[in-house]
Amino acid sequence: MTKYLRDIVANIHKDAEWDSNKTSGFVEHPAPIISRIIADKTILVKTYRKTDEMWLVIERSSRPSETVLPIHGVHELNTEYSLRNNLDNSSFSRVYVFTAMGLFQWDRLGGWQNV
């Protein structure tokens, strides 16, 4: 590889998109990713049968392009406006996110916390 590759330049820009079909890639901030997943799943929830509580579990992957890595922990998840807004407007009573940094849980009463 060193014979053909001299430099690696990594750029992160505002138009970066999530692509889970890559075996390598960049790791984006997790709150916008989780926010998009919740927005997409909220549409599907309406087709599910009626339940007392609806939980969403988001599992990380070993692929770098699917890694959820909250570097700043709970604070990073609790301070993202779009994530809070999508959670408030969703039917989910709890959301669990398995990340490379551990397990995070959200519920309507306590917000995000490290479990």
Distance from C-alpha of 65 to C-alpha of 60, rounded to nearest angstrom: 10
- Summarize pLDDT for 91-110 with one digit per residue, the tens: 899 999 887 777 889 999 99
Distance from C-alpha of 80 to C-alpha of 35, rounded to nearest angstrom: 9
Q: What is the mean pLDDT of residues 72-94?
A: 87
Strand ranges, E, within the chain? 55-58, 94-99, 102-107, 111-114
Domain spans in the chain, listed from the N-terminal domain onward: 30-40+52-114
- Summarize pLDDT for 58-67 with one digit per residue, the tens: 876 665 555 6
Q: Which helix (H) or strand (E) holds 39?
A: helix 30-45
Q: What is the mean pLDDT of residues 47-68?
A: 72
State the pLDDT confidence band at 85, using cuts at 50, 70 and 90.
very high
Is the pLDDT at 36 greater than 70, yes or no?
A: yes
